[in-house]
Amino acid sequence: MQLQVSTVSQPNGVAVVKVVGTLALGRESQRVEATVQDLIAHGTNRIVMDLGGVEQMDSTGVGIVTYCYGQVKEAGGKFRVAEAKGKIREGFRITSVDALVPFDPDLDTSIAAAGAE
């Protein structure tokens, strides 16, 4: 499935970056990084990445999420990952990225945590 990236602003100032499809090596996946960089450039530094629609992910995908986390932290913000399940979540566990990046089981929890002062 072709990668789809969309952003939805929440009332509490959090932006949700929804990723659907395959997050893997290739030009298409760079859109995720570009979306996060654009949000930061426009003053949004509380970001939740919703991976509930990601069907496949390789090490590049793990790297992209880690990079986005670093960019948001550098901007003084909060970054969380929601809805990563099954083999997608396992990829983060195997690489120990889940020890660095905060993961939540559902979108509502991530939005509340990212929006908290």
pLDDT of residue 21: 96
Instruction: Tell me the C-alpha to C-alpha distance, in Å, between residue 22 and each of 12, 13, 30, 76, 87.
Output: 29, 28, 12, 29, 13
pLDDT of residue 26: 87
pLDDT of residue 117: 73
| DSSP symbols for 39-107 | HHHTT--EEEEEEEEEEEE-HHHHHHHHHHHHHHHHTT-EEEEE---HHHHHHHHHTTGGGTS-EESSH
pLDDT lower than 70: segments of the chain = none
Length reported for the chain: 117
pLDDT of residue 101: 96
